[in-house]
């Protein structure tokens, strides 16, 4: 596992970003945060992280998804591991899949999806696994 790996956490909920920052820093990860897609793009330009943890629903229902899809089209970010977070599955259960056909019909721009509330042990295990594979 890469020591001092940089993880960018992007979520519009400050409770999520703050708690993930505490948890990840306790594992000696360097954590940067952003609260929306625009801030995330700036953070990515400032320093490419080793992993990005990205909420799907922020200002819009698909902001995180759109950002991840855009990043996969850019050569410099094409191989950036992105872990997506969402309460999306519950929202689809409540509202039905019609409003989310755009997301459901696209090829997912991330390999990992974690549902909120997060199982932080599973998330930490996945981060460790990703970083081991990349070293």
Class of domain 6-129: alpha beta
Q: What is the pLDDT of residues 51-60, one digit of tens each?
A: 999 998 899 8
Alpha-carbon gap, residue 111 to 31, rounded angstroms: 21
pLDDT in tens, 76-102: 999 999 998 887 766 655 665 555 555
CA distance linking residue 54 with residue 82, whole number of Å: 7
What residue segments make up the domains of the chain, in order of their start? 6-129
Instruction: Answer for the pair 8, 49: CB distance below 8 angstroms, yes or no.
Output: yes
How many Å apart are CA 54 and CA 35, to the nearest integer?
A: 10
Selected residue with higher pLDDT from 23 and 91: 23
Element (H, E) at 79: none
Q: What is the pLDDT of residue 86?
A: 84
Tokens of 122: 């599973």
What is this structure's pTM?
0.88
């Amino acid at each position: 596992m890469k020591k001092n790996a940089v993880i960018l956490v992007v979520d519009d909920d400050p409770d999520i970003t703050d708690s993930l920052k505490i948890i990840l820093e306790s594992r000696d990860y360097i954590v940067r945060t952003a609260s929306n897609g625009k801030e995330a793009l700036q953070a990515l330009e400032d320093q490419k992280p080793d992993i990005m943890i990205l909420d799907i629903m922020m200002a819009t229902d698909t902001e995180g998804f759109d950002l991840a899809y855009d990043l996969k089209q850019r050569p410099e970010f094409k191989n950036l591991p992105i872990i997506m977070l969402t309460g999306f599955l519950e929202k689809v259960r409540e509202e039905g899949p019609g409003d989310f056909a755009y997301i459901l019909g696209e090829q997912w721009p991330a390999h990992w999806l974690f549902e909120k509330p997060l199982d932080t042990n599973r998330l930490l295990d996945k981060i460790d696994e990703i970083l081991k594979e990349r070293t």
